[in-house]
Amino acid sequence: MAQQPSFKTVFVFLDTDKYCSPFDMLVAIDVFPNSMIFKYENVTGEDAPKIVYDLLFPRGPIGAQHTKIFINGSNFDMVNEVVAATQKCMASAPWGNSIIVDPRGAYSTAAGAVAKTLGLSLEKGFGALEGKNVTVLAGTGPVGQTAARIYASEKANVVITSRTMAKGQAVAEKINKEAGAQRVKVVEVTKPEQTALAVKDAEIILAAGAGGIQLLSAGDLKAAAKCKIVADINAIKPLGVEGLGSNDDGKELASSVFGIGALAIGKLKIKIETEMIKRATEAPQGLFDYYIAYEIGKAAILKKLAKPKA
Ligand SMILES: NC(=O)c1ccc[n+]([C@@H]2O[C@H](COP(=O)([O-])OP(=O)(O)OC[C@H]3O[C@@H](n4cnc5c(N)ncnc54)[C@H](OP(=O)(O)O)[C@@H]3O)[C@@H](O)[C@H]2O)c1
C-alpha cells in the first residue's frame, strides 16, 4: 500500500513592514517546535497572489492544509490589502488554507486587554461591557483601535483620544460604520491637561499608547470619579498609567478602582495568539483575526470566572 506523505507544518509570514517581527515567529515555533518558517517582507497586495499561489499548489490539497499563512505588519490598510488579495487567491484556487492575521500582535493584545477588563468587571460585580463608558487613551494605534472596535462590538460607549482630531475621527468613523451605530466618539488630547475631560465619565479606561509614554497621571485617575477599572498595555517605562505596575492584575489602586498592567495583559495575549495558531493549524481553511482572538480571550476569562474558588 502506498504510504501517505507526512507533511511538516510550514508557516509563511507575509509582512507588509520592511522587517518581519520575530515576536510572532517565536510564538509559532513554540507552538510547533518542528515547524518551518518562510518569511517575506515589504509584501503588498500586488505581491501576495504570486506567493500565495506558489505555496498552495506544490503540496496538493492535504499539504496546503499544513501550510499556514500569517499576515503581519504595522499599517492596517496595507495588512487589509494583503488579507483581501490572499482571500481572493483562495477563492479562485481549487483548494485553500487558513490565514492568521495578528498585525504586530495588535489583535491578540487588544483582545487580551478587552477580555481582561471584562473579566475584572464581572469579578468585581460591575457587570458586562454593554452600555459601559469606556475610554481608550491613544485609541488610534493598531492596538488601541482594535480594542475600541471590540468594545464597540460589545455595545460599550467608547471614547478614543488622539493628539490629532482628524486621525481620531477617521478611526471612529470606520468603526461606527462597521458597527452600524455611533458607538465611538473622539476627544482630542494635545496637552496632558485635556486628558481629564476624556476620562470624566469613563467606567473603564484602557491606556493604549506607544511604548514609554505616560498617558494618565495619578491626579487624572483620581479625578475620574466613575472609573472602576484601569488597564495599561505599555510595558516600557515610563508606563502608561501612573501608579499602575506592569504585573498588577486586579490590584486595588484606590477605593473600588482596580488596575491591570501590561504584563498581566501580555500573559493572556500569548495564550490567545497560541490558540489562534493552533486553531488555524487544525482548520483546513478560514480567517483567524481579531474576532477569533477576542472569542478565545473572552472564553478563557469566562471559564476562569466559572471555576469555583479553592
Ligand atoms: N502588553 C502586550 O502584550 C503588548 C503587545 C504588543 C504591543 N504592546 C504595546 O501596546 C502599545 C500600543 O501599540 P501600538 O502598536 O498600537 O502603538 P503605536 O502605534 O506605536 O502608538 C499608539 C498611539 O500612541 C499615540 N502616541 C504616540 N506617541 C505619543 C506621544 N508622544 N504622546 C501621546 N501619544 C502618543 C499615537 O496616537 P495619536 O497620534 O493619535 O495621538 C499612536 O496612534 C505599545 O505600548 C506597545 O508596546 C503591548
Q: What is the CATH number of the domain that holds 125?
A: 3.40.50.720
Helix (H, G, I), strand (E, B) or coil at 157: strand
Q: What is the pTM of this model?
A: 0.96
* 192 pocket-lining for ligand 1 (C-beta < 6 Å): no
| Domain match, 67 and 191 both | no
Q: Is residue 285 part of a domain?
A: no
What does the pLDDT average to over 32-50? 96
Q: What is the pLDDT of residues 135-189, one digit of tens each?
A: 999 999 999 999 999 999 999 999 999 999 999 999 999 999 999 999 999 999 9
pLDDT at 310 over 80: no
Gap between the Cα atoms of 163 and 186, Å rounded:
10
* 259 pocket-lining for ligand 1 (C-beta < 6 Å): no
Atom of ligand 1 nearest to the CA of 106: 6
Handedness of CA 200, 265, 236, 278 (dihedral sign): negative
Q: Is residue 300 part of a domain?
A: no
Handedness of CA 214, 216, 218, 220 (dihedral sign): positive
Domain that holds residue 39: 10-101
Q: What is the pLDDT of residues 96-125, one digit of tens each?
A: 999 999 999 999 999 999 999 999 999 999
Atom of ligand 1 nearest to the CA of 265: 1
Q: What is the pLDDT of residues 254-269, one digit of tens each?
A: 999 999 999 999 999 9
Q: Is residue 272 part of a domain?
A: no
| Domain match, 137 and 234 both | yes
CATH of residue 82's domain is 3.40.50.10280
Q: Is residue 270 part of a domain?
A: no
| Domain match, 47 and 66 both | yes
The percentage of the chain sitting over the pLDDT mark of 90, rounded to a whole number, equals 95
Atom of ligand 1 nearest to the CA of 140: 43
The Cβ-side half-sphere exposure at 67, using a 13 Å CA radius, reads 22
| Domain match, 184 and 137 both | yes
What is the tally of structural domains in the chain?
Answer: 2
| Domain match, 113 and 244 both | yes
Q: Is residue 278 part of a domain?
A: no
